[in-house]
């Protein structure tokens, strides 16, 4: 993949109204982003694609490993849950990153992000060492100083420097050595207060994941619907994490949206469902245009696994090679076998039985029926980030082509593109606007549910094509002089810039066919 510039992608995203900095007129707020008109629709299209392919028609009808259609029901739970939910889930005690503070600059850094330039020879002779955070301004600044001090340098993780040696380390944004504190845990959950008194008894948290709302309502879903195991519960929604170092555009934000499925099954079938979902999810991202070598599936090493996943069938990530991670990859979605960890925890803390009674299992009785089996289901969790998905889709779509009137364009998949089609009269006279407006009204009436249909009669036709290419619109339809005599129009394909003539009457079905999910 040719290298893509993140600065150019961010500039286009801003210029065309995909993504803005939140509270920009107040100087912005680090870790928060807003979606503009095209971005809001692109994000909705990605969320809808997930909803269609996970909830309404799971896996496009592919049967599960049991040979039956995959069953999934939706849910929409509160952002604020009872604080005990987060004690049971382990987030109060464990959801933290070790941090180091700089006493001089008052900056705070993630301990595992800080690296240090040391002499390549290994002999520092008691001189200061230079800490930095990769991909920030501190990297070049500290490298320069380190090279001046030692000549050739190499870099090691801060954790690789013995604690006695920290007195000689100059922090990334400091001038004097020895200003870094011991690493300290920093809980990532946003705290708030419920009710007017705002005492410590009223503390609550904004959810750091949507998953726990699903586990907490598992019993209600079982008791009030006719679902039977194996089945999944899905929800999309905001999650909040007070990330210490939000960065890389929307990749690590403090407010973001997740699309999570908790799939409940018998413990004996968990390994097969894990493999099934892992492969299905990888295929799904591919179907949206994230293809080739930019997308990979990475199985976690055993020592990377969360405590609850160690006993399970595995955890893997669907990863995308973002311009800022290249040549490495960044996580888009994690697929984990969470065993019965969450249900067991909520059963213990919530004092409710969350076991499932399965009448079709257990010992066979003489009358041919089963005695039934009572068990805590295991869970396979495909958990995807919607904002990261949008970012990956934008990065993948971003293309430079100096030969075009639009040297930058977005090759978005037609299913995700916010503008589905644009209709142009070649010139704004001679009866062309009237015919174009009629076609525009027809196409809108037929296709408005799929996304925006644009009408543009201004400027030279090349400029209008360029504007649409840059916004990722897959089809431009132009009405010209010939249209008046033979009732045909040209359809220009964004990807090839090729045009073909088709009958005006067939424009609606032409577009419908190409905009449908594949």
Query: Which residues here bind ligand GAP, judged by CB under 6 A?
Result: 209, 211, 241, 243, 252-253, 256, 258, 260, 331-334, 381, 383-385, 387-388
Position of minimal CB gap to ligand GAP: 385
- Contacts (Cβ under 8 Å, ≥6 apart) of 307: none
In the bound complex, what is the minimum distance in angstroms from residue 208's beta carbon to ligand GAP? 7
In the bound complex, what is the minimum distance in angstroms from residue 444's beta carbon to ligand GAP? 34
In the bound complex, what is the minimum distance in angstroms from residue 259's beta carbon to ligand GAP? 9
In the bound complex, what is the minimum distance in angstroms from residue 308's beta carbon to ligand GAP? 11
Looking from the CA of 433 toward its CB, the CA atoms found within 13 Å total 7
The torsion angles phi and psi of 218, rounded to 5 degrees, stand at -55, -45
- Paired sense of beta strands 295-299 and 255-265, if any: unpaired
The secondary structure of residue 162, as a DSSP letter, is -
- Contacts (Cβ under 8 Å, ≥6 apart) of 28: 21, 22
In a 10 Å sphere around its CB, with 0-12 CB exposed, 13-18 middle and 19+ buried, how is residue 494 labelled? buried
Backbone angle region of 157, left / alpha / beta, with phi > 0 → left and psi within -120 to 50 → alpha: beta
Q: Which of 210, 436 has the CB closer to ligand GAP? A: 210
Q: Report the alpha-carbon distance of residue 166 to residue 156 in Å, rounded.
A: 13
In the bound complex, what is the minimum distance in angstroms from residue 185's beta carbon to ligand GAP? 17
Give counts: helices (H), strands (E), the chain: 14, 27
Asked whether 55 and 74 are in contact (CB, 8 A), the reply is yes
Q: Report the alpha-carbon distance of residue 460 to residue 405 in Å, rounded.
A: 11
In a 10 Å sphere around its CB, with 0-12 CB exposed, 13-18 middle and 19+ buried, how is residue 485 labelled? exposed
In the bound complex, what is the minimum distance in angstroms from residue 383's beta carbon to ligand GAP? 4
- Contacts (Cβ under 8 Å, ≥6 apart) of 336: 306, 309, 312, 314, 315, 380, 381, 383
Percent helix, strand and coil across the chain, each rounded to 5?
Answer: 35, 25, 35
Q: Which of 241, 415 has the CB closer to ligand GAP? A: 241
- Beta-bridged to residue 358, according to DSSP, are 373
Q: Which of 338, 492 has the CB closer to ligand GAP? A: 338
Q: Which of 97, 101 has the CB closer to ligand GAP? A: 97
- The rounded Cα 154 to chain-centroid distance in angstroms is 34
What DSSP line would sit under 264-285, residue for residue? EE-GGGHHHHHHHHHHHHHHHH
Q: Report the alpha-carbon distance of residue 416 to residue 27 in Å, rounded.
A: 31
In the bound complex, what is the minimum distance in angstroms from residue 332's beta carbon to ligand GAP? 5
Q: Report the alpha-carbon distance of residue 204 to residue 255 in Å, rounded.
A: 17
Q: Report the alpha-carbon distance of residue 3 to residue 327 in Å, rounded.
A: 10
Q: Which of 18, 452 has the CB closer to ligand GAP? A: 18
C-alpha Rg value of the chain to the nearest Å: 27
In the bound complex, what is the minimum distance in angstroms from residue 212's beta carbon to ligand GAP? 8
Q: Which two tokens stand for residue 414?
A: 């037609």
In the bound complex, what is the minimum distance in angstroms from residue 328's beta carbon to ligand GAP? 15
In the bound complex, what is the minimum distance in angstroms from residue 153's beta carbon to ligand GAP? 32
In the bound complex, what is the minimum distance in angstroms from residue 260's beta carbon to ligand GAP? 6
Q: Which of 214, 511 has the CB closer to ligand GAP? A: 214
- Contacts (Cβ under 8 Å, ≥6 apart) of 224: none
């Amino acid at each position: 993949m040719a290298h893509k510039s993140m600065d150019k992608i961010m500039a286009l995203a801003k210029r065309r109204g995909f993504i803005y900095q939140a509270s920009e007129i107040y100087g912005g707020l680090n870790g928060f982003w807003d979606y503009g008109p095209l971005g809001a629709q692109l994000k909705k299209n990605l969320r809808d694609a997930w909803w269609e392919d996970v909830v309404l028609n799971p896996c496009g009808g592919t049967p599960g490993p049991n040979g039956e259609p995959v069953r999934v029901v939706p849910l929409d739970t509160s952002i604020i849950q009872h604080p005990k939910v987060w004690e049971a889930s382990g987030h109060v005690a464990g959801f933290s990153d070790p941090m180091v503070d700089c006493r001089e600059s008052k900056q705070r850094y993630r301990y595992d992000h800080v690296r240090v330039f040391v002499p390549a020879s290994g002999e520092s002779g008691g001189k200061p060492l230079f800490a930095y955070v990769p991909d920030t301004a501190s990297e070049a600044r500290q490298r320069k100083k380190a090279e001046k001090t030692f000549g050739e340098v190499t870099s090691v993780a801060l954790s690789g420097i013995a604690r006695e040696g920290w007195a000689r380390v100059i922090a990334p944004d400091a001038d004097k050595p020895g200003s870094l504190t011991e690493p300290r845990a920093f809980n990532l959950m946003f705290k708030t207060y419920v009710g007017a008194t705002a005492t410590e008894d009223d503390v609550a948290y904004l959810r750091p994941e949507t998953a726990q709302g699903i586990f907490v309502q598992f019993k209600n879903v079982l008791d009030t619907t006719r679902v039977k195991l194996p089945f999944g519960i899905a929800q999309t929604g905001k999650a909040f994490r007070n990330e210490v170092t939000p960065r890389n555009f929307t990749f690590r934000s403090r407010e973001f949206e997740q699309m999570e499925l908790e799939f409940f099954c018998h413990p004996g079938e968990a390994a097969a469902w894990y493999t099934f979902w892992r492969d299905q999810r990888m295929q799904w991202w591919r179907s949206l245009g994230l293809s080739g070598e930019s997308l990979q599936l990475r199985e976690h090493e055993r020592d990377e696994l969360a405590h609850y996943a160690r006993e399970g069938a595995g955890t893997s990530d669907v990863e995308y090679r973002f311009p800022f991670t290249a040549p490495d990859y960044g996580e888009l979605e994690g697929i984990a076998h969470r065993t019965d960890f969450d249900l067991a925890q909520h059963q213990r803390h919530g004092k409710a039985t969350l076991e499932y009674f399965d009448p079709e299992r257990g010992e066979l009785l003489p009358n041919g029926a089963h005695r039934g089996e009572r068990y805590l289901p295991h869970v396979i969790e495909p958990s995807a980030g919607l904002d990261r998905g949008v970012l990956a889709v934008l990065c993948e779509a971003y293309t430079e082509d100096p030969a075009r009137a639009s040297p930058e364009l977005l090759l978005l998949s037609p299913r995700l593109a916010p503008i589905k089609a644009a209709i142009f009269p070649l010139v704004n006279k001679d009866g062309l606007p009237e015919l174009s407006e009629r076609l525009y009204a027809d196409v809108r009436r037929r296709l408005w549910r799929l996304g925006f249909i644009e009408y543009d009669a201004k400027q030279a036709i090349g400029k209008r094509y360029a504007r649409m290419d840059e916004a990722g619109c897959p089809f431009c339809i132009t009405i010209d002089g010939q249209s008046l005599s033979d009732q045909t129009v040209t359809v220009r394909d964004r990807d090839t810039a090729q045009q073909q003539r088709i009958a005006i009457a067939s424009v609606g079905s032409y577009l419908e066919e190409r905009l449908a999910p594949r």
